[in-house]
Chain A
Amino acid sequence: MPFIPHTKADVASMLAVVGAADIDELFDEIPANLRARDSGDGDAAGLTEMETLRRMAERARADETGPCFLGAGAYDHHIPSAVWDIAGRGEFMTAYTPYQAEASQGTLQLVYEFQTMMSELTGMDVCNASVYDGGSGLAESILMAVRAGERRRTGGRAGSRPRAGGSRRVVLAGAVNPLYAAAARNIVGQQGIEISQLPHGENGLADPGLLKDLAEPPAAVVVQQPNFFGLLEDVDAVTDQARECGALTIGCVNPLTLGLLKAPADWGEGGADIACGDGQPLGIPMASGGPSFGFICTRQSLVRQLPGRIVGRTRDLDGKPGFTLTLQAREQHIRRAKATSNICTNQGLLVTAATIYLSLLGPEGLRNVASACHARTRALVAALDLPRRFDSPYFHECVLRLDRPAQPVVEALAARGILGGLALGPYFSDLADCLLVCATEKRTARDIRQFSDSLDDAVRKAA
Chain B
Amino acid sequence: METIFDLARAERRASAQVPARESIEDLPESALRAEPPGLPEVSELQAVRHYTRLSGNNFSIDTQFYPLGSCTMKYNPRGAHRAASAPGFLDRHPLAPESVSQGFLACLHELQQILQRVTGMGSVSLTPMAGAQGEFAGVAMIRSYHAARGDTGRNQVLVPSTAHGTNPATASMCGCVVREVAVGSDGDVDIEALKAAVGPETAGLMTTNPSTCGLFERRIEEVAAIVHEAGGLLYYDGANLNAVLGKVKPADMGFDVLHLNLHKTFATPHGGGGPGAGPVGAGEVLAPYLPGPMVEKTVDGYRWMEPPETMGRLSAFMGNAGILLRALAYALMLGPEGMRRVGEFATLNANYLATRLQHAGFDIAYPDRRACHEFIVTLARQKRECGVTAMDFAKRLLDYGVHAPTTYFPLLVPECFLIEPTETESKETIDAFVEAMTSVLAEAASNPELVRSAPHTLPSKRLDDVEAARRLDLRWRPAHASHRSDPSTSG
> Known contacts being A3-B75, A94-B76, A103-B403, is A350 close to B275, with CB within 8 Å?
yes
Q: Judge whether B148 is part of the interface by a CB distance below 8 angstroms.
A: no
CA distance A128 to B337 in the complex (A): 42
Instruction: State the Cβ distance, A414 to closest chain B Cβ, in Å.
Output: 5
A214 on the B face (CB < 8 A) = no
Among A118-126, A148-156, A239-247, A450-458, the stretch in contact with B: A118-126
- A57 an interface residue at 8 Å Cβ cutoff? yes
Chain B hits for A43, CB < 8 A: 336-337
- Contact between B273 and A342, CB atoms less than 8 A apart: no
Q: Answer yes or no: B133 CB below 8 A from chain A CBs.
A: yes
Instruction: Find out whether the CB atom of A183 lies under 8 angstroms from the CB atom of B132.
Output: no
- B residues 25-74 near A (Cβ < 8 Å) are 26-28, 30-34, 36-42, 44, 47-48, 50-52, 54-64, 66, 68, 71, 73-74
B474's nearest neighbour on chain A, judged by CB, is A126
Q: Does B140 belong to the interface (CB within 8 Å)?
A: yes
A-B CB contact pairs (8 Å), 9 listed:
A3-B334, A35-B248, A47-B332, A52-B332, A94-B76, A316-B463, A342-B132, A359-B4, A371-B22
In the complex, besides A132-B275, A358-B39, 7 extra interface pairs with C-beta distance below 8 angstroms are: A2-B333, A59-B106, A60-B86, A132-B133, A289-B315, A324-B463, A414-B96
Tell me the smallest distance from the CB of A242 to a CB of chain B, in Å: 17
Known: A359-B42, A366-B39. A59 touches B336 (CB 8 A): no
A186 to B221, CA, bound (A): 32
B93 x A90 contact (CB < 8 A): no
- Chain B CB within 8 A of A362 CB: yes
Is A345 at the interface (CB under 8 A from chain B)? yes
CB atoms of A90 and B60 under 8 A apart: yes
Which B305-342 residues sit within 8 Å CB-CB of chain A?
311-323, 325, 328-329, 332-342
Residues of chain A with a CB closer than 8 A to B169's CB = 332, 335-337, 339, 341-342
Asked if A345 and B90 sit within 8 Å, CB to CB, the answer is no
Given contacts A3-B75, A46-B334, A106-B56, contact A37 B249 (CB under 8 A): yes
* Interface presence of B438 (CB below 8 A): no
A356 touching B51, Cβ below 8 Å:
yes
A29 touches B218 (CB 8 A): yes
Q: How far is the CA of A5 from the CA of B294 in the complex (A)?
A: 36
Nearest-neighbor residue (CB-CB) of B344 within chain A = A23
In the assembled complex, A313 has its CB within 8 A of some CB on chain B: yes
Query: Looking across the interface, which residue of chain A has its beta carbon closest to that of B391?
Result: A100
> Of B4, B22, B348, which contacts A374 at CB under 8 A?
B22
Interface string of B362-386 (1 = CB under 8 A from A): 0000000110000000000000000
Q: Which of A1, A15, A65, A93 is in CB contact (< 8 Å) with B100?
A: A65
- Which A residue's beta carbon lies closest to that of B97? A414
Instruction: Answer yes or no: A116 CB below 8 A from chain B CBs.
Output: yes
Interface string of A345-358 (1 = CB under 8 A from B): 11111111001101
Chain B residues with CB below 8 A from A337, complex form: 168-169, 171-172, 178
Q: Which residues of B contact A95 (CB under 8 A)?
A: 58-61, 270-272
Are B17 and A361 within 8 A (Cβ)? yes
B228 at the interface (CB under 8 A from A): no
Write the chain B residue with the least CB distance to A310: B474
Tell me if B90 and A56 are in contact (CB < 8 A). Answer: no
Q: Which has the most chain B C-beta neighbours within 10 Å: A58, A234, A287?
A: A287
Known A30-B216, A109-B3; judge A261-B33 contact (CB<8 A).
yes
A30 touches B248 (CB 8 A): yes
Tell me whether B460 and A182 are in contact (CB under 8 A): no
| CB pair A362 B321 closer than 8 Å | no
A177 vs B97: C-alpha distance when bound (angstroms): 19
- A403: min CB distance to chain B, Å: 21
Instruction: Decide if A287 touches B321 in the complex (CB within 8 Å).
Output: yes
Contacting chain A: which of B194-202, B280-288, B421-429?
A: B421-429
Residue ID in chain A nearest B102 by CB atoms: A62
User: Looking at the complex, which of A133-141, A216-224, A383-391 is the stretch in contact with chain B?
Assistant: A133-141
CB-CB under 8 A from B270, the residues of chain A are 94-97, 345, 348
Q: Is the CB of B59 within 8 A of A34?
A: no
Q: Which residue of B lies closest to A109 (CB)?
A: B54
Q: Tell me whether A63 and B33 are in contact in the complex, defined as CB-CB below 8 angstroms, given that A347-B274, A393-B26 are known contacts.
A: no
Tell me the complex Cα distance, A448–B242, Å.
50
Q: Is B24 an interface residue (CB 8 A)?
A: yes
Residues in chain A near residue B335, CB distance under 8 A: 44-47
A432 within 8 A of B: no
Residue pair A20, B351 in contact (C-beta under 8 Å): yes
Does the CB pair A17–B33 fall under 8 Å? no
Instruction: Say whether A359 contacts B313, CB under 8 Å.
Output: no
Q: Is the C-beta of B299 less than 8 angstroms from some C-beta in chain A?
A: no
Q: How far is the CA of A369 from the CA of B107 in the complex (A)?
A: 34
Question: A133 touching B60 by the CB < 8 A rule?
Answer: no
A460 at the interface (CB under 8 A from B): no
Assembly CA distance A118 to B475 (angstroms): 9
Given A95-B271, A260-B32, A73–B317 Cβ distance below 8 Å?
yes
Is there contact, CB below 8 Å, between B129 and A374? no
Closest to A179 in B: B316
Task: Give B132's nearest chain A residue, CB to CB.
Answer: A342
> How many A residues touch B, CB cutoff 8 Å?
201
Q: Which 4 residue pairs spanning A and B have beta carbons closest together?
A: A289-B317, A349-B271, A348-B273, A289-B94
Question: Are B96 and A378 in contact (CB-based, < 8 A)?
Answer: no
Interface code A164-199, partner B: CB below 8 Å = 1, 0 otherwise? Answer: 000000000000010110110111001110000000
Contacts A95-B60, A288-B104: A2 and B334 contacting too (C-beta < 8 A)?
A: yes
Q: How far is the CA of A364 from the CA of B20 in the complex (A)?
A: 10
B403 pairs with A363, CB closer than 8 A: no
Q: Does B150 contact A (CB under 8 A)?
A: no
In the docked arrangement, what's the CA distance between A291 and B286, Å?
A: 27
Contact partners of B5 in chain A: CB under 8 A: 113, 116
A445 contacts the other chain (CB 8 A):
no
A289 to chain B, nearest CB (A): 3
| Pair B58/A411 contact, Cβ less than 8 Å | no
Given contacts A30-B216, A290-B322, A342-B132, contact A258 B33 (CB under 8 A): yes
How many angstroms between the C-alpha atoms of A335 and B63 in the bound complex? 32
* Distance (whole angstroms) from the CB of A237 to the closest CB of chain B: 10
Contacts of B55 in A (CB 8 A): 86, 89, 91-92, 106
Q: Which residues from chain A contact B58 at a C-beta distance below 8 Å?
A: 91-92, 95, 103-107
Residues of A close to B140: CB separation below 8 A: 186, 190
Known: A345-B263, A362-B39. A60 touches B172 (CB 8 A): no
Q: Which residues of B contact A312 (CB under 8 A)?
A: 468-469, 472-474
- Residue of A whose beta carbon sits closest to that of B129: A132
Most central of A41, A74, A290 by chain B CB within 10 Å: A290
Chain A contacts for B461, CB-based, 8 A = 102, 316-318, 320
Contact B467 A57 (CB under 8 A): no
Does B13 belong to the interface (CB within 8 Å)? Answer: yes
Q: Please report the C-alpha to C-alpha distance between residue A100 and residue B60 in the assembled complex, in whole angstroms.
A: 12
Q: Which residue of B lies closest to A420 (CB)?
A: B97
- A361–B104 Cα distance when bound, in Å, is 31
Q: How far is the CA of A363 from the CA of B33 in the complex (A)?
A: 12
Q: How far apart are B96's CB and chain A's nearest CB, in angstroms? A: 6
> Is A425's beta carbon under 8 Å from chain B?
no
